[in-house]
Amino acid sequence: MDDPTVLVEATSSVPRLWFQKVPERKRVKNRLHLDLCAEDFETEIVRLLSLGAAVPDHQPNPELVVLFDPEGNEFCLLRS
């Protein structure tokens, strides 16, 4: 059986993140919005797209990219 959860572990000074896939679709605005940084911005965009992220047409800020996860939740990738 596939485990529909993901735990992102980091050092003690960085928060742990826990993601869980649920059967319900997104219905309202995100309760949590992540801003992620990447040293290799272009490579990370390609990686996120390969994992199912989508990029909306309108991008208001050239220093970041707004993305949607496969369930439609928004998050941002910032240039380091």
pLDDT of residue 45: 92
pLDDT for the residue 52: 92
Domain 25-79 in this protein, CATH class: alpha beta
Per-block mean pLDDT, blocks of 10 residues, the chain (80 long): 62 70 77 85 92 88 88 87
As a whole number of angstroms, the distance between CA 20 and CA 57 comes to: 27
**What distance in Å separates the CA atoms of residue 30 and residue 8, rounded to the nearest whole number?**
19
Spatial distance between the Cα atoms of 56 and 73, rounded to a whole number of angstroms: 12
Q: What is the pTM of this model?
A: 0.68
Nearest to 79 by CA among 58, 63, 62, 67: 63
pLDDT at residue number 7: 61
pLDDT score, position 22: 76
Alpha-carbon Rg of the chain, whole angstroms?
A: 14
Domain boundaries of the chain, sorted by first residue: 25-79
What confidence score (pLDDT) does residue 30 get?
A: 74
